[in-house]
């Protein structure tokens, strides 16, 4: 099975386990989409914005001495965007509705990112 298929399977399971999640995109840290579980979207634009967010988050953590990036959570009036590292080269972006249980989002997002990271490590 290809990396894209394995990652997409994990992303669909994430959405099924957590009903407030709209979808997700997995991409490389330089913004190339690996897999997309967003309705009506191929994920390219989300992947590009994810790369920018991850670069900025990593720089902020390095500058402030807070260690390696694990996640970034952005809260907006219409929901959340969460970014999770999935190994050294992959990032999982998860989009969720307003009112989402943020603790559950973080728990499930990290769990899925870990699974995606394991798949990516096996392929290398």
- Short-list 38, 15, 13, 84, CA closest to 46: 38
> Which CATH number does 3-123 carry?
3.30.450.30
CA distance 40 to 89: 26
Overall average pLDDT of the 47-55 stretch:
96
Check: CB of residue 111 under 8 Å from CB of residue 12.
no
Quick one: pLDDT at residue 40? 82
pLDDT-derived band at 39 (thresholds 50, 70, 90) equals: confident
Q: Strands of 90-96's sheet, edge to edge?
A: 33-37, 21-28, 90-96, 79-85, 71-76
Per the DSSP assignment, residues forming a β-bridge with 27 are 33, 91
**86-105 pLDDT, tens per residue?**
999 999 999 999 999 999 99
pLDDT-derived band at 58 (thresholds 50, 70, 90) equals: very high
Distances (CA, A) of 14 to 24, 30, 57, 112: 9, 23, 24, 7
Quick one: pLDDT at residue 124? 60
> pTM (2 decimals)?
0.94
**11-29 pLDDT, tens per residue?**
999 999 999 999 999 999 9
pLDDT-derived band at 59 (thresholds 50, 70, 90) equals: very high
Q: Which two tokens stand for residue 38?
A: 């967003």
**105-121 pLDDT, tens per residue?**
999 999 999 999 999 98
């Amino acid at each position: 099975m290809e990396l894209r298929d394995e990652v997409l399977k994990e992303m669909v399971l994430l959405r099924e386990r957590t009903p407030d999640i709209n979808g997700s995109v997995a991409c490389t840290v330089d913004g190339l989409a690996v897999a997309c579980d967003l309705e009506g979207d191929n994920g390219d634009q989300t992947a590009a914005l994810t790369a920018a967010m991850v670069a900025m988050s990593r720089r902020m953590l390095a500058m402030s001495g807070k260690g390696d990036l694990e996640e970034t959570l952005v809260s907006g009036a219409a929901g959340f965007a969460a970014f999770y590292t999935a190994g050294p080269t992959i990032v999982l972006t998860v989009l969720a509705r307003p009112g989402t249980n943020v603790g559950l989002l973080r728990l499930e997002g990290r769990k899925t990112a870990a699974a995606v990271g394991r798949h990516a490590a096996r392929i290398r």
